[in-house]
Amino acid sequence: MTQVDAVGSTLLRAARDVLAAEGPGALTVRRIAAEAGVSTMNVYSRFGGKDGVIDHLFIEGFQRLSDAVAAAPHTDDPLDDLRRCGACYRAFALANPTYYSIMFDRAVPDHVPSPEALERAGATLQQLADGVERAMRAGAIVAADPLETAASLWATTHGLVSLELKDAKPAHIDWARVFESTMAALVRGLATGAHAAP
């Protein structure tokens, strides 16, 4: 990811603020520059335009998520580490809803992630796949394609977190408890398969 200077950081923060407060329709080069208190030329010279700003935020979001997962302590229990990885994902999403919406919810519908952005996203998923593979090598979960198993874990985690972020409440739901119990059941199911294998 290309490093940005102080003005670039201000522009990125301005774009996040506009997107969070007013939605994608308000996110224009002129609006980003005005929010940052600089000329539009600063957006073009640093990011090439609005698309470059969004792409940078996409990459930055995945890098922050990756850093959060990497910072989680690794233990001798690969199953507990997988649950902790899911908890890191949820904590990141709740603390960074604007990043999350750019990364996963197409917050800016006309933005197409660049190859660099997609590579960063893939590397983050690979972190989970590496944790899954470690659990498989330890015999803690059933042997399968690590990336497919990681995608299943991610899909479940993402679904729960997305519902929580949207405040989906047909009835009172304690999303933290639902998340913990679902992750525990999912990991337990993978472990049961491993123990049942010949």
What residue ranges do the domains of the chain occupy?
A: 1-48, 55-196
Closest to 70 in 3D by CA, of 127, 133, 152: 127
Query: Residues of the chain with pLDDT > 90: what percent?
Result: 75
In angstroms, the Cα distances linking 87 to 78, 133, 144, 163 are 14, 19, 23, 15
> Looking at the predicted structure, is the pLDDT value of residue 194 above 80?
no
- pTM of the full structure: 0.88
What is the enclosing helix (H) or strand (E) of 145? none
Residue with tokens 């989906």: 168
pLDDT of residue 105: 87
pLDDT of residue 154: 93
Flag the least confident range among 32-36, 49-53, 140-144. Answer: 140-144
Question: Domain spanning 1-48 has what CATH number?
Answer: 1.10.10.60
Query: Residues of the chain with pLDDT > 70: what percent?
Result: 93
Specify whether the CB–CB gap between 99 and 62 falls below 8 A. no
Q: Quote the DSSP letter at residue 139.
A: T
Q: How confident is the model at residue 9 (pLDDT cuts 50, 70, 90)?
A: very high
| 3-class secondary-structure state, position 77 | coil
Structure tokens given for 52: 């470059």
Specify whether the CB–CB gap between 113 and 58 falls below 8 A. yes
> Looking at the predicted structure, is the pLDDT value of residue 65 above 70?
yes
| 3-class secondary-structure state, position 172 | coil
In CATH terms, 55-196 corresponds, of 1.10.357.10, 3.30.1330.10, 3.50.40.10, 3.30.70.1150, to 1.10.357.10
How far is residue 4's CA from residue 12's CA, in Å, rounded to a whole number? 9
Average the pLDDT over 11-40 and give the result: 93
What is the average pLDDT value for the chain, to the nearest integer? Answer: 90
In angstroms, the Cα distances linking 106 to 23, 41, 85, 111 are 12, 26, 23, 8
| 3-class secondary-structure state, position 16 | helix
How far is residue 24's CA from residue 37's CA, in Å, rounded to a whole number? 20
